[in-house]
Structure 1
C-alpha cells in the first residue's frame, strides 16, 4: 500500500469495512486511519506533526535528529511528536531505529455533517 487516507468515519462505517475485509480475506487497497471524533483527528494532526510528515515525505528512513533538523525544532519535542505519529500508524520504525514515512501519498478526507453538528 502506498497511500494512506486519514479521515473520519462513523463506528458503523468502520465496522462494515473491517467485517468486509474479514469475510473476503482482502484488505482495502489503501491504508486508512479514521477518527469518529474530528477533535481527535485535529489533536493528532497538529501543525507541527503535519510539518514532520511533510519533511519526511519521500526522504526514506531518517533519524529523529535529522527530522528535527529538517523542521527546525528541538530533538526532544520532535521525538515526542514522532512517537505519537508512530503509535497512530502514520510513521514506521526501521530495524535500526530510524523512522520512515512509508506512504507515497497521504490523503485527508474529512466530512463535516451539518445535521450532526447542529
Structure 2
C-alpha cells in the first residue's frame, strides 16, 4: 500500500532529516525512504489540510488522475469550490497536476504527530 506520512515537526528537524537522508543516499544507503510531508505546526497543517480538503484528498486516493468535475461529484460539492481547493493542494505539493486533471498518488495518509499542552 502506497502511504503518505504527514508529520508535525520543527523547521530545524525537517532540515536535519533532509541532511541525514541526503548523506545516506550519497553513501548508497537508506533506499527505502517513505513519502513524507511535514508541517511546522498544527495550524499550518490545518490551513493546508482543512476538513473539506482532506475529504477531497481521501476521495482521490488510489483513483489516479481525475478531472475537477469527477472530484466534485465524489465529494458532492460545487465545482468552483473544489477547483479552488485543488489549486491550493497543488500549490502546497499535496496533490499533483496532471495532463488529465489532478492526482493524489497515494492510497492512504498516515498522520504522525504528538500534541502537548502549552508551557
> Shared topology, TM-score over 0.5?
yes
The answer to whether structure 1 residue 40 and structure 2 residue 44 are counterparts is: yes
Shift of residue 68, structure 1, vs aligned partner:
0.7
Deviation (angstroms), 1:3: 2.0
Match of 1:113 in 2: 116
Q: Which moved more, 1:61-70 or 1:9-18?
A: 9-18
Matched residue pairs, number? Answer: 115
Q: Secondary structure at the match of 2:72?
A: helix
Q: Runs of 4+ in structure 1 displaced over 2 angstroms? A: 24-28
Q: CA deviation at 1:2?
A: 2.6
2:4 is aligned to 4
Structure 2 residue runs without a partner (length 5+): none
TM (norm. structure 2) is 0.85
How large is the Cα RMSD of the aligned pairs?
1.8
Q: Write the mapping of 1:1-118 to structure 2, written as runs, cut at 5 A.
A: 2-25=2-25, 29-96=33-100, 98-114=101-117, 117-118=118-119
Distance between the aligned counterparts of 2:32 and 2:84, measured in 1? 30
TM-score using structure 1 length:
0.86
What SS does the corresponding residue of 2:62 show, helix, strand or coil?
coil
